[in-house]
Amino acid sequence: MTTMKTVFGPPGLELMLAGALFMVLAACTKKELPPPPKAEIIPKDVSVHADQRIDNYYWLRERDNPKVIDYLNAENTYTEAVMQDTKSLQTKLYDEMVSRIKETDLDVPVRRGEYFYYSRTEEGKQYSIYCRKHGSLEADEEIILDQNQLAAGKKFFQLGVLKTSPNHKLLAYSADTTGSETYTIHVKNLETGEWLSDEIPNTYYAVEWANDNATLFYNTLDEARRPFKLFKHKLGARASDDELVHFEEDDAYFLSVSKTKDRRYLLLELGSNTTSEVWYLNADTPDAKFKVIHPRQHKMEYAVEHHDAKFLIMTNDDAINFKLMQVSVEHPTKKNWQERIPHRQSVKLDGIDPFKNHLVVYEREKGLERINIIDIQSGEEHLVDFDEAAYAIKSTSNPEFDSELVRFKYSSLVTPETVYDYNMVSRNKELKKRKEVLGGYDLEAYQIERLFATSTDGTEIPISLVYKKGLKKNGNNPFWLYGYGSYGATIEPGFSSTRLSMLNRGFVFAIAHIRGGGSLGRPWYEDGKLFNKRNTFTDFIACAEYIISEKWTNSQKLVTSGGSAGGLLMGAVLNMRPDLFAAAVAKVPFVDVLNTMLDASIPLTVIEYEEWGNPNEKDYYEYMKSYSPYDNVEAKAYPNMLITAGLNDPRVQYWEPAKWTAKLRATRTGQNTLILKTNMGAGHRGSSGRYDYLKEIAFDYAFMLKMLHIRS
């Protein structure tokens, strides 16, 4: 589916911080600790808009400085000491979570040509095993890739792509072993089981086969970890000899490559946060040249699919919620585009999935997704029916172009992930699999509600929540409020079996669908970015105030969490209204907004200008400074806080949460808990193994429970 003047503080300040930390550690662990390391700092003077800011903790950026690693390890030691009394609770939570999952399980097989492909898991093993069967589901199983073997002896292992060749004889996969999201491509002969000599380092998330079964296209990263080059690789050749197909010079653009649903065309996709450009190449002729469909046009986005000698083009050109156009492959320039699905003010077009005789359209209205089926010959349309008031739909693999079945995943806050095959002709929906929740889970024991809070400007903000039936609105319930609110991303009200551990302890869980996300269409996103970013924070505060006023909870029982850009949300909201919350969990939080956005050498910075603004422009600088969490830490009583980081994180560098923690520790008032937990062997997403990941969740839950004095 297509879809300032900165003065970096004197060396003595970090010594004070390190010394204070070691004193806390000594008091907590009752052990003699070595004296704090002495760091050598070279002050820097950078002038932007004649504004002077003092950054006392800039030294924590020195990744290769052993004193920085010592500091992070010391914070981890302190965190372990603070959480020592929750060890048994963490074990209990972890055991609960494991007990709910079917450890030995398999996905619903997907047919591609003569093969059925699927993945499965085995009890006690961290990673999935990828398999296939030839001809029928009764055939013998063939293991094409066992991640557990590849990950043996490694602290981290993450697959990037997994692509079989068109003739099903070869497998290209990429892997990251550090969490840095830098992948190496390998190729396996599926007929012999042998590994080819082909090995391509420094790649990203895009790999595609040409139809000759001998040519691979892939993207590589620049020093800022931006995918910027497209290469063509012939099997058997050295990676150093691969042909450069395209080089994207603009730092604001990412480069990717994909294939149309019918596998006829390769698509070279170039995009910033607001602008896109697509080139195409017949997949049968990989040595020909890519051709552009429409040159980039500022703030115009479009995505391309192919059907019956026509390109289908989803675009926001004069259509904020997107529309669908079509054009002949022979003359694809924009002047020839014809409207297929018009723009609608109340419905956002999220994506399309073309089949031979049908077009599947994923749409969103009033915050909820829906699936619209269009008969290509007759033009007749119908919607797939769903019963629950709030739910989540996820498109899944539908590789067969000539099929009457479309497969999708469905879940809600109480309904586990369910795979359906929907017959677009008979309109029958067949349940293929519902993920089992072991231990006697009864979805009827839980209740979903959808509420609306009023923000400061009168905007109604949706809230999706779930709780165990029997709960009383007495203002005294433990309540967990989650939010994100950036990039137009919609946090869907989907199911989580791990979350049951909190619901069963009396928690209400809620998602605040704040502006900056995509819940209510593209305007909802636009109204929470750039100079509208503060709406995201005031929306979230309004949601917290509303649930307290409606007696769902009180400020001493309200915990909150968010990660990455949702960590920015946490930081901004806690600076504005720390009194609303008893505790907060900020996962890999983007909090050092000005310093990061002023440093173009940091991964992803330049492309982010269209999300946050360019602080080299004074108006943006001043607006970003008004909410940047790190720059607005004050001497006030902050709630209990757990902050996490990943040493190899390329999206939010580890020093952002580390610096924020340091500044909070030195500036805040009161004695509430403040801990930093840095994963020293992973990146943005935390641990890669499924059991290790559950241990991280158990730790987070134990922190929330401890802060609310819930001990079991």
List residues with catalytic annotation. 564, 649, 684
**Contact by Cβ (8 Å): 501, 450:** no
DSSP codes, 9-21: PPHHHHHHHHHHH
**Token duo for residue 362:** 């994923």
Give how far the C-alpha of residue 17 lies from the chain's centroid of Cα atoms, to the nearest Å: 33
CA torsion, ordered 90, 93, 95, 96, to nearest 10 deg: 180
DSSP 3-state of 50: coil
Give which of 463, 363, 460, 466 is closest to 411, Cα–Cα.
466
Give which of 597, 574, 594 is closest to 586, Cα–Cα.
574
SS3 content of the chain, % helix, strand, coil (to 5): 25, 35, 40
DSSP codes, 401-450: SS-SEEEEEEE-SSSPPEEEEEETTT--EEEEEE---TTT--GGGEEEEE
Q: Environment class of residue 345 by beta-carbon count within 10 Å: exposed (0-12), middle (13-18) or buried (19+)?
A: exposed
Place of tokens 């003699």: 32
- Strands 347-354 and 358-365 turn out to be antiparallel
DSSP 3-state of 236: coil
Residues 6+ positions from 375 with CB-CB distance below 8 Å:
357, 358, 381, 424
- Strands 265-271 and 254-259 turn out to be antiparallel
Could you give the C-alpha distances from 242 to 97, 226, 249, 509, in angstroms and in order?
46, 19, 19, 51
**Token duo for residue 266:** 């390769």
Residues 6+ positions from 537 with CB-CB distance below 8 Å:
569, 572, 573, 576, 627
**Token duo for residue 156:** 């981290």
DSSP 3-state of 154: coil
- The H or E element spanning position 245 is strand 243-247
Could you give the C-alpha distances from 595 to 8, 11, 65, 252, 602, in angstroms and in order?
11, 19, 20, 18, 10
- Strands 479-482 and 508-512 turn out to be parallel
DSSP 3-state of 39: coil
Q: What does the alpha-carbon distance between residue 263 and residue 282 come to, in Å, rounded to a whole number?
A: 9
Give which of 622, 567, 562 is closest to 594, Cα–Cα.
622
Give which of 516, 515, 520, 491 is closest to 413, Cα–Cα.
491
Give which of 372, 370, 373, 406 is closest to 388, Cα–Cα.
370
DSSP codes, 58-108: GGGG-TT-HHHHHHHHHHHHHHHHHTGGGHHHHHHHHHHHHHHS-SSEEPP
**Contact by Cβ (8 Å): 245, 217:** yes
**Token duo for residue 29:** 């662990």
Give which of 642, 686, 697 is closest to 498, Cα–Cα.
697
Q: What does the alpha-carbon distance between residue 378 and residue 358 come to, in Å, rounded to a whole number?
A: 10
